[in-house]
Amino acid sequence: MTDLKRRRFLISSALGVSALALSGCDRLEQSPEVGGVIRSAEKLTMSAQRLLLGRDALAREFAETDISPAFRVNGTSAPDGEAYAQLVEGNFANWRLKIDGLVDRPLELSLADLKKLPARTQITRHDCVEGWSAIAKWTGVPLGSLLAATGLKPSARFAVFHCADELEKTLDGSGRYYESIDLIDAFHPQTILAYRMNDQELSVGHGAPLRLRVERQLGYKQTKYIMHIEIVDSFAALWGGSGGFWEDRGYEWYAGI
Ligand SMILES: Nc1nc2c(c(=O)[nH]1)N[C@H]1C(S)=C(S)[C@@H](COP(=O)(O)O)O[C@H]1N2
Ligand SMILES: [Mo]
């Protein structure tokens, strides 16, 4: 099965998806009362997650000894094309992260710029909707600190992450990987733009030079190969209009775990 066919199969099994999503939810499972309510629901929606856990609740963090010996590379393992190949060759010295859209002060930052900023390190579990999980240590810049520096306009609602890779070019040409989160998740303390994984430079397989960690959501929100962050008030006009590559192919936008 191709990746996409496998996904479609998974999508069609809504029960499978919600069971997997719930298996990532230790905090809820600890409470039989809350667990019962959630298990009886078909899916954990954004409002349910925020109501029960609070908008600032932290994802569980783990110990060094919990770090998985192996962490799968999933989806794109290296973006195609000469432009990305040249960035790799130059060790990403010529890569720039652009942050623009509904901001007063657009930013353009090199990897060296990002590494000078205060960093956060967290050991968390990644849960892919395909049914595998892995624990890793991530280091990067809190997204909220960058967004605060841009001066968000009052109309700002979502951060959109545009990536270097095209995962599926065949479907109508709209194969560019992208994702979006709202500003509550963007300013969550565990939402970071990671450039290190398990105390090493982020590898190409895992999204070099920069990937998102948004720890209360499923794997497909953990955008790799970030080139550009665009602040918008709606994602309706972007690609398929549903706010992300997999969302345009039937997945939920709010992929809470
Ligand atoms: N740019 C980009 N980001 C992506 C993907 C991708 O194909 N391209 N795959 C997503 C999915 S489905 C998962 S599970 C994780 C996998 O991250 P990993 O390769 O570090 O395991 O990245 C997510 N982010
Ligand atoms: Mo995934």
- CATH code of the domain covering residue 17: 3.90.420.10
Instruction: Please work out whether the CB of residue 244 comes within 6 Å of at least one atom of ligand 1.
Output: no
Q: Which domain holds residue 137?
A: 3-249
Count up the domains in the chain and report the number: 1
Residue 99 belongs to a domain: yes
Within a domain: 146: yes
Q: Residue 171: its pLDDT value, please?
A: 55
Beta bridge partners of 241: none
Q: Is the peptide bond before 209 cis (omega within 30 degrees of 0)?
A: yes
Residue whose CB lies within 8 A of the most ligand 1 atoms, among 74, 180, 246, for a mutation test: 74
State if residue 75 touches ligand 1 by the CB under 6 angstroms criterion.
yes
* Cβ–Cβ < 8 Å for 37, 29: no
Two structure tokens written together for 16: 């499978």
Inside any domain, residue 228 = yes
E strands, the chain, in order: 97-101, 107-109, 120-128, 132-142, 158-166, 176-182, 192-197, 200-201, 211-213, 226-232
With a 6 Å cutoff on the Cβ, whether 177 touches ligand 1 is yes
Instruction: Please state the atom number of ligand 1 nearest to the C-alpha of residue 126.
Output: 14
What is the reported pLDDT for 255? 85
The response to whether residue 195 sits with its C-beta less than 6 Å from ligand 1 reads: no
- The Cα-based distances of 75 to 37, 45, 149, 162 in angstroms read 33, 25, 32, 15
Q: Which ligand is nearest to the CA of 167?
A: 1
How do residues 76-96 score in pLDDT, each as one tens digit? 999 999 999 999 999 999 999
**Dihedral angle over CA of 87, 91, 95, 96, nearest 10:** 170
pTM to 2 decimals?
0.84
Which parts of the chain register pLDDT below 70?
Answer: 1-44, 169-174
Q: Locate tokens 């998974």: which residue?
A: 10
CA-CA distance, 226 to 114, in Å (whole number)? 13
Tell me if 127 CB under 6 Å of ligand 1. no
DSSP 183-210: HHHHTSTT-EEEEEETTEEPPTTTTTT-
Which residues, including other chains, have CB under 8 Å from residue 90's CB and lie 6 or more apart?
none
Residue to mutate (ligand 1; options 224, 226, 246; most atoms within 8 A of CB)? 224
Where do we find the tokens 């992450």? 161
The answer as to whether 178 is a domain residue is yes
> DSSP of 24-35, one letter per residue?
T-HHHHT-HHHH
The reply to whether 209 falls in a domain is: yes
User: Which uninterrupted H or E stretch holds 105?
Assistant: none
pLDDT tens for each residue of 135-185: 999 999 999 999 999 999 999 999 999 999 998 765 566 689 999 999 999
Ligand nearest to C-alpha 126: 1
CB 222 within 8 A of CB 163: no
Spatial separation of the C-alpha atoms in residues 114 and 93, rounded to whole Å: 12
CB-ligand 1 contact for 76 (6 Å cutoff): yes
The answer to the question of residue 121 being in a domain is yes
